[in-house]
Amino acid sequence: AQKVTQAQTEISVVEKEDVTLDCVYETRDTTYYLFWYKQPPSGELVFLIRRNSFDEQNEISGRYSWNFQKSTSSFNFTITASQVVDSAVYFCALSEAPKTSYDKVIFGPGTSLSVIP
Amino acid sequence: DGGITQSPKYLFRKEGQNVTLSCEQNLNHDAMYWYRQDPGQGLRLIYYSQIVNDFQKGDIAEGYSVSREKKESFPLTVTSAQKNPTAFYLCASSRQVNNEQFFGPGTRLTVL
């Protein structure tokens, strides 16, 4: 069965600090896909990144970086030099390679990040 | 511009009434989804559809119904059988289930 755990319910940091959001997943498939989404106070979720299980390279996009480690089933997200605009709820998600019409994406419970000026 | 539209943004319903939330996408995506979000909570999947004329129940389908007659449209009906419908409803679409989802702006439903 698929499962996504985001153990950090809420995190508060002071502006310019670095912060890492944890994501641990469970799946029996060897082919799967991991995602991160951001939900700002406006409510609309924004896609940040998609990573497939065969690509363990870490990725950096500006102040954002992602660390994918299959050995620990983790896909952690780091924001460097945080800014107030980073305040949002962040969701990690997992999907397996599609096989049937019942396949779906599993979202974690989310981590609420507050960046204090 | 390609994207997902949801209407209305705010919806008020009296107890015992059915209401339908609209979701339209012009991204040519095969898969579409409805989620419910309660204050301070995560996303809960109501219904999803991987292809036209086919849809599956999610984790909390009771009291809801959907149709998928056209690729671009996936309306959600909140029926009177849904005992606590006040929530924020998000619609999303993706090319396939293993692709990133694009979300609409959401509909905030309040039962009076």
Residue of A nearest to B51 (CA): A101
List the structure tokens of B33.
């989804």
Question: Do the Cβ atoms of A115 and A15 come closer than 8 Å?
Answer: yes
What value does the mean pLDDT take over residues A31-58? 93
**Coil, helix or strand at residue A110:** coil
| Banded pLDDT at B87 (limits 50, 70, 90) | very high
Q: Which residues have C-beta within 8 Å of that of residue A13, sequence separation ≥ 6?
A: A19, A82, A113, A114, A115, A116
How many A/B residue pairs have CB atoms within 8 Å? 64
B96 touches chain A (CB under 8 A): yes
- Mean pLDDT along residues B39-59: 92
Tokens of A85: 């605009």
Average pLDDT, chain A: 93
Mean pLDDT over B78-94 rounds to: 93
Contacts of residue A62, defined as CB under 8 A and 6 or more positions apart, other chains included, come to none
Average pLDDT over residues A24-34: 94
Among all residues of chain B, which has the CA nearest to that of A49? B100
Chain B CB contacts of A45 under 8 Å are 90, 92, 101, 103
pLDDT band for position B1 (cuts 50, 70, 90): low
Q: A103, A92, A34: which is closest to B31 by C-alpha?
A: A103
Q: Which residue spans within A23-110 are E strands per DSSP?
A: 24-26, 32-39, 46-52, 59-61, 64-69, 74-79, 88-96, 106-107
At A70-109, the pLDDT tens digits run 999 999 999 999 999 999 999 999 998 777 767 788 999 9
Residues in chain B with CB shorter than 8 Å from the CB of A97 are 98
Whether residue A43 and residue B33 make contact (CB cut-off 8 A), yes or no, is no
Contact A45 B98 (CB under 8 A): no
Rounded to 5 degrees, what are φ and ψ at B68? Answer: -140, 70
B9 min Cα distance to partner chain A (Å):
11
DSSP A28: S
Best mutation site among B38, B46, B97, B103 for testing chain A: the one with the most A CBs within 10 Å?
B97
A19 contacts A81 by C-beta, under 8 angstroms: no
